[in-house]
Structure 1
Amino acid sequence: MSPSRILTNICSDRLGESKDFYVSLLGFEVKYDSDWYVQLCSPSNRELEFGIISRTSGLVPAQYQKAPTGMYVTFVVPDVDTVYSKAVSLGLTIIQEPKNEFYGQRRFLTVDPNGCLIDICSPSSEADK
């Protein structure tokens, strides 16, 4: 049996800041907003969702209520350089400036308010700078 839906959720101690980060940087729309959970979606496809849950929620087992390590979240966008410019204008921490990678993606890395590494990328070609 295959899944009918996949939803990524990250844990947060800063729900409001996290919501603002993803809405401002990537243009997500707020689908659901409460004091313990925020669900965001793509404005062009409401089935593309991203959730942010309070780290101390009873729904998160105690052993997983830690800062993120050993993982990162990738968002594929039409134009990585436009999103990079927006990240700079928002004063976000840039871990890696836009760079063409060997596997055919141009990406930059930033970090969200929860300390989660965020990979923003677009397909690239050798003609891209």
Structure 2
Amino acid sequence: MVKPKPDDFPRITPYLYYEDVGAACDWLIKAFGFSERFRMPGPDGKLSHAELGFADDGVIMLGNPGPDYHAPTATHSQLYVYVDDVDAHFTRAQEAGAKIIEEPADQFYGDRRYVAEDPERQQWSFATRVREVSNEEMAKAQGT
């Protein structure tokens, strides 16, 4: 019997648009440590769809919706990704040429996080949980 969700996918899988899917895949693998799962060329021979894995359970899909698509000129969203060592991950991203928006810093909600932008202006937050914080502590830190 066919399962409603493939075993190797989480329930929610981001699908990101890129003008150059192949270049985006290569860059995300080099800079952020993703691994290649699948690449599919379109009728024109250019890569039209790809799937990348991250750590033991992360998956993103990449695609190009067509010739009229252009990379965003403003940030509309951000992916939040947990890594084992955010400072080491930051160094890797920086060495690969990621545009750093925010350097690693401890956050009031218990994560140490940095923010980077890829070559097509998708924004990525990478974080490591460094302390447990209750909802009450977070509200107090926010002044609410």
> What is residue 52 of structure 1 aligned with on the other side?
62
TM-score normalised per structure 2: 0.71
In the TM superposition, structure 1's runs of 4+ consecutive aligned residues that sit over 2 Å from their partners are 42-45
1:101 maps to what in 2? 107
User: The residue matched to 2:109 in structure 1 has which SS?
Assistant: coil
Partner of 1:29: 35
Larger Rg: 2
| Matching residue's letter, 1:6 | I
State the SS of the aligned residue for 2:87.
helix
Q: CA deviation at 1:29?
A: 1.7
Residues 1:8 and 2:14 are matched in the alignment: yes
1:66 Cα deviation from its structure 2 partner: 6.1
Measured at CA, do residues 106 and 115 of structure 1 come closer, stay the same or move farther in structure 2, by a change above 3 Å? same
Q: State how many pairs are aligned.
A: 117
- TM-superposition CA deviations, 1:76-115 (whole Å, max 9, x none): 1011000001112112211110011111111111101221
In the aligned structure 1, how far is the partner of 2:51 from the partner of 2:33? 13
The alignment's C-alpha RMSD in Å is: 2.4
TM-score normalized with structure 1 length? 0.78
Aligned match of 2:87 in 77, 81, 85? 81
Q: For residue 88 of structure 2, give the secondary structure of its aligned residue in structure 1.
A: helix
1:55 CA drift (Å): 3.5
Q: C-alpha displacement at 1:44, in angstroms?
A: 3.0
Q: Report the 3-state secondary structure (helix = DSSP H, G, I; strand = E; otherwise coil) of the residue aligned with 1:36.
A: strand
Structure 1 portions without partners, runs of 5+: none
